[in-house]
Amino acid sequence: MAIAKAERLMNLALCLLGARRPLTKRELRASIEAYVEAFGSGEAGAASGGEGATGSAESFSRMFERDKDDLRELGLVIDTVENVDGETAYVARRDSNRLPPLALDAAEATALGLAARVWQQARLAAAASGALQKLHAAGGMPPGAIPEQGGERQLGTLEPHIPAREAAFEPLMLACRDRRPVVFDYRKSNAARSERRQVEPWTLECWRGHWYLAGWDRGRQDERVFRLSRITGPVRSRTGAFSAAVPDQVTVRETVERWAGEGATSTARIKLREGAGYPLRARALATRKLGSGWDELEIPYGHGLDAWLVEFGPDVVVLEPAELRADVIDRLRAVAKG
């Protein structure tokens, strides 16, 4: 949602909630700055008459109806009544819009606290922390549910670390929420240059320390998963509706696992430099020292393993099978040509 529209909706909501009596469209138009700037107060136009005044009134009426519907969709209860002069008026009564007391049990509070950790390296880190503190101050969070820097209260002995360093994370998160198409440049692991992608974003998911976006690739007319660290340049939003239906369930993790050879029935042997490739070591079926700064690993082999191995560059050498070795060499050569 654009900042200007969000501010206009907030001002309209506050005006309806703070009014001592129901307000007509005319009174709301004269009271809210965004309406005055766009259409004038309405008084001068009504006095002068003319086609311009009529057009301005109609444009304001359409915007007001959209804003009113948006506020109702967000949960604000707005009553339409008739004032003492017989005019249609609007009011948001406080007793109808008062939230019930919020009380979370320990498990719910801990889950909420962990979810807020996603923002620890994003721009909304302060807002997330402030929201948790307000819940605690209002009595909605049990003691010990909010992590404190250097304090005694903790979420538990082990606390997950969910980084959100990629610049693409926040605009893609907002695009997924608002169902807005996006455009970005994306470089595949075996490509020397980035390619422009037009995507209808569905969901974001973190897997093994990396964020992935699932969505509909308009250029390829198919579902695709993109690793955020391979997005180069800014993410730009586009107007218009989605052209493909959003599935009820998006299997981001399963797709990435297939790329990494998860669930494979065969194995591969690789040489791995000491002190490198810890994700590969975590999946190794067997490991032995080779000396001279190298180890030999036996790892599951499935579709997409070559693309994953290329990411480790000179720290990995494929021993067998021969087809995997050839695929990795081809990918490295493609990158080197760029």
**pLDDT per residue over 158-167, tens digit each?**
445 556 667 8
Query: Is 180 in the same domain as 152?
Result: no
| Residue 280 backbone dihedrals phi, psi, to 5 degrees | -70, -40
Query: Is 148 in the same domain as 110?
Result: yes
Query: Is 36 in the same domain as 14?
Result: yes
Q: Which residue has the tokens 């393993």?
A: 305
Cα torsion 118, 122, 124, 128 to 10°: value is 30
Residue 164 covered by a domain: no
Beta pairing class for 210-217 and 195-207: antiparallel
Domain boundary among 96, 120, 141: 96
**pLDDT value for 198:** 95
Using DSSP's 3-state secondary structure scheme, residue 143 falls into coil
**pLDDT value for 97:** 83
Query: Is the preceding peptide bond at 247 cis, omega within 30 degrees of 0?
Result: no
Residue 75 covered by a domain: yes
**pLDDT value for 333:** 83
Residue 162 covered by a domain: no
Q: Which residue has the tokens 């819940």?
A: 135
Query: Is 244 in the same domain as 274?
Result: no
Query: Is 182 in the same domain as 237?
Result: yes
Q: What is the pLDDT of residues 109-138, one digit of tens each?
A: 666 666 666 655 555 556 666 666 666 665
What total of structural domains would you count in the chain? 4
Domain boundary among 157, 183, 203: 157
Mean of pLDDT over the chain: 79
Residue 199 has which token pair?
């995507």
Domain boundary among 68, 96, 124: 96
Query: Is 7 in the same domain as 92?
Result: yes
pLDDT value at 266 more than 90: no
Evaluate if pTM is beyond 0.75: no
Residue 7 covered by a domain: yes
d(CA 237, CA 254): 27
The pLDDT of 169-185, averaged and rounded, is: 91
d(CA 271, CA 289): 10
Q: What is the pLDDT of residues 34-85, one digit of tens each?
A: 899 888 876 554 444 444 455 578 889 999 999 999 999 888 899 999 988 8
Query: pLDDT band for position 240 (50/70/90)?
Result: confident
User: Which domain range does residue 318 map to?
Assistant: 260-337
Residue 207 covered by a domain: yes
Query: Is 249 in the same domain as 303?
Result: no
DSSP state of 20: S
Query: Is 203 in the same domain as 180?
Result: yes
Q: Which residue has the tokens 């299997």?
A: 251
